Chains A and B, each alone.
Chain A
Amino acid sequence: MPEVVYTTVVNAPQLSIWDFVKDMDNWAPFVTGYQSHEVIDDFDSIWTLKGDVGVLSRVVQFRVHITEWAGPTRVAFTMSGINEQTEGEGLFVMGPTAEAETAPVPPRVPWWRSWRNRVILFWYRRSNPQQTVRVANPAGVAGSQLAFTLRMKSGGVIGPVVDAMIEPMLAPAAEDLANKIANQIEHLESEGARAGG
């Protein structure tokens, strides 16, 4: 099963990340190949994406089901292809950066979840040598980490071939999504700071 993990540093409090990520309308347009999405209820939605499969592209519809709403640290979901035999799952993990560990931990994060996130991130890094990190705040402001995991698997007789063709596309897609989310959160934070004087 092709899998990619991408972690970036967001120069914003973890709660700000959570506030942004928990509403999928905020970041849906940042998904590579995004065409549209329709929210059915708090847990289910239908997404239409235009995805690259090697030298060609296809419009794929997915039913996305949220399997875990664990604010402000985790959102997990599954993806099930409607018009293609493709299944997948995704995971957002938010946590403090190493620099931020000296800063006060947001009060709503249980200690065990924070530690679990660090362990998860450690293993993400160990298991994925392609993992890259967005350039941290040059001013050295303490921030938070946002890790995005995406796994996809294609079914049917030719599933192995489809997986082989989409593998190279996954890492850029995950990186692009995480970085766009980070940039937008930082933009909103700076706008808020300016508005607050």
Chain B
Amino acid sequence: MAKTYDIVIVGSGGGGLTAGLVASALGKSAVVLEKGATIGGTFAYSTGLAWIPNNRHMRAAGIDDSAEEAAAHIRSLSGGRHDEALLQAFVANSSEAIAFLEDRCGIPFEMPDSFPDYYSELEGGRVAGRHLAAPIFPAKERLSDQWRAQLTNSPYYAMVPASWKEIQGWGGFGTVATWDWGMLAQRIRDDYRAFGSAVAGWMLDALLRQNVALHVHADVRGLVVDSGRVIGVRASTPAGEEIFEARSGVILATGGYDGNETLKRRWDPHPMTVRLGAPTVDGSGLVMALEQGAAMAMFDGQLLVPAYNIPGEAAADQPLYRLFIRELCFPGSMVVNRKGQRFGDETFYRDLCHEMVHFDPLSQEYPNLESYFICDQEWKDRYPLASVMPGDVPAWMTSADTPAELARKIDVDEEGLTATIAAFNGPAARGEDPAFGRGSTNHGRNGGDPSVRPNPCVRPLAGRLYAVKMALGTAGTNSGLVINQAAQVMHVRGEPIPGLYAAGNVAANLAEGLWYNGGISNAKGMTFGYMAVRHALGAAEVA
């Protein structure tokens, strides 16, 4: 016998949890179906940051912003690939969605200081204010043992139960050696969650208070359609095959397909990536919609992020690849290819990734795909690399006294690396990087070491050198379903598929085109989850 709800939500990331909260707050019934064993998806793996222009927190802090300026910013940087109606819908509704979650559901957001837009120097950019995060979530205090065991914790951030605001107050990630790790240990014993797991935790807590139905191990296998309208889903659950009927709408919030190697190879120009998100993000929602004739838009593959693996470290039974972003900004470091040559501005990972996937038709190879992070003794003495603290040198980290010796050890061209470091060091003594402009952006400088002047991202490499092999990671996918400004999934013939909505990375990057900023995936998931529910329930029904 089918179970019937007003809204049926597939996936428990930021989009799915928001949709459940909004439906419940509007007095309607909702069910969230999660195929994995825990709630949160890639959202809970993430930094938890959401890029929300013109939000009330920045206004309260006296930072001027508007939806129009945010739209102008994205429009000028989208490469002409955005959909204007979706862009307008996003900038008009994102701050409203967050305000709704705060006011109606009790989700506490806060604004970390000093988070520049990636392109803050360009039209409509801001040097701070558009990133929102949540304070740490006291899971043991707020949830039953059963539910806190079912709240996804991030393998990247579980060891740092602190909020963005706190970390910035402590001096940023470059000052980890001075943090109070005894206090953080006590927070771990008390099961405090941070970053994406904190936002997911606050949302899960609210969902339970609002009596939204939540099912883990509920693997949705297909959509139920009647006369062209999506009226529910079929799911495999611990109770067997079940039908969940939706009176008003089905919302796909299943994430991208970054955990599905087959789909990556079929659709993406550079599939050789390692997964950074939740293992359950396998494109299942996307495939279900395609089965009903949904339109798909192809973009530039994946949300590429430099990554590295500490040998022997794993999560979810697979090697754990960590994000390699902030470490690249600290001075006394660079990234080189097999020829020992730099190939991009290391302080802007998007630039680096773009070059890593560059395919050279002359040599028929990816010349920068195999690359190495190189840092010097001072870098090693001052900055952390994940759990490798300043001064610690694990056995897996290759080191040598000279560039040539290091190059031999990592099978990189000796003369190339020696020449690259020599060429870099001259201008670096003046804080300059004429080749690639390290530290030339607000975003890059924000990640650097403010104690190093004049450029917090640049100084010469000296002394013993260290190397870490890099990999190309994917934090999500850019291609996906075509949706309209109400988050309705569009049929390939041009009309919305009645009853079917999509929020988050299951949909294509139509709101932003080729532009990207940290926190946009989380923001889109929550914003379009909010919009989808409101549209599905109908304007007249929305209080």
Given A85-B392, A160-B182, decide whether A59 and B159 contact each other with a Cβ distance below 8 A.
Answer: no
Contact B313 A58 (CB under 8 A): yes
Instruction: State which of A15-23, A104-112, A113-121, A161-169 sits at the interface with chain B.
Output: A161-169
Q: Which of B183-191, B218-226, B401-409, B471-479 lines the interface with chain A?
A: B183-191
Residue of B154, B177, B185 ringed by the most chain A CB atoms within 10 A: B185
Provide the residues of chain A in CB contact with B181, threshold 8 Å: 157-161
Contact A158-B312, Cβ < 8 Å, known A54-B153, A56-B320, A82-B395: no
A57 an interface residue at 8 Å Cβ cutoff? yes
Given the interface pairs A157-B181, A160-B185, the reply to whether A56 lies near B314 with Cβ below 8 Å is yes
Contact with B along A27-57 (1 / 0, CB 8 A): 0000000000000000000000010011111
CB neighbours of A56 from chain B (8 A): 155, 158, 313-315, 320
Complex interface bits, B183-206 against A, C-beta within 8 A gives 1, otherwise 0: 011101100000000000000000
A158's partner among B189, B310, B315, B389 (CB-CB below 8 A) is B389
- Within A70-100, the residues touching B (CB, 8 Å) are 82-85
Q: Does A60 contact B (CB under 8 A)?
A: yes
Asked, given contacts A157-B176, A157-B177, A158-B389, whether A59 binds B312 with beta carbons under 8 Å apart, the answer is yes
Given A160-B182, A160-B185, A161-B184, verify A55-B395 contact (CB < 8 Å): no
A162→B185 CA distance, assembly (Å)? 8
User: A156 within 8 Å of B by Cβ?
Assistant: yes
By beta carbon, the residue of chain B nearest A57 is B314
List 15 A–B pairs whose Cβ atoms lie within 8 Å, in order of A's numbering.
Answer: A53-B159, A55-B155, A55-B315, A58-B313, A82-B395, A83-B394, A83-B395, A156-B392, A157-B390, A158-B159, A159-B181, A160-B181, A161-B185, A164-B189, A167-B189
Contacts of A159 in B (CB 8 A): 181
Give the number of A-B contacts (CB < 8 Å).
Answer: 70
The A interface is mostly helix, strand or loop, or mixed, namely mixed
A165–B395 touching, CB < 8 Å: no
Q: Counting CB contacts under 8 A, is B168 at the interface?
A: no
Q: Are B389 and A55 in contact (CB under 8 A)?
A: no
**Chain A nearest Cβ from B541, distance in angstroms:** 40
Chain B's nearest CB lies how many Å from the CB of A59? 3
Q: Is residue B387 contacting chain A, with contact meaning CB distance below 8 A? A: yes
Chain A residue at smallest Cβ distance from B180? A160
State the CA gap A162–B154 with chains docked (Å). 15
Q: Which of A50, A58, A60, A164 contacts B185 (CB 8 A)?
A: A164
User: Whole-angstrom distance between the alpha carbons of A17 and B375 in the complex?
Assistant: 53
- Report yes or no: B188 in contact with A161, Cβ–Cβ below 8 A: yes
Q: In the complex the two chains form, is A57's CB within 8 Å of B186's CB?
A: no
Residues of A within 8 A of B182 (CB): 160
Chain B 362-419 interface residues, beta-carbon cutoff 8 Å to A: 387, 389-390, 392, 394-396
* CB-based nearest A residue for B187: A164
Q: Which A residues touch B312, using CB under 8 A? A: 50, 58-60, 83
With both chains docked as a complex, state the minimum distance between the C-beta of A48 and any C-beta of chain B, in angstroms.
9
Q: Which residues of A contact B27 (CB under 8 A)?
A: none
Find out whether the CB atom of A156 lies under 8 angstroms from the CB atom of B188: no
Closest 6 CB pairs of A and B: A59-B312, A160-B185, A164-B185, A164-B188, A56-B155, A56-B315
Residue of A nearest to B390 (CB): A157
A8–chain B nearest beta-carbon distance, Å: 26
**Chain A proximity mask over B312-333: 1 for CB below 8 Å, otherwise 0:** 1111000010000000000000
Which one of B159, B176, B189, B394 has the greatest number of beta carbons of chain A within 10 Å? B159
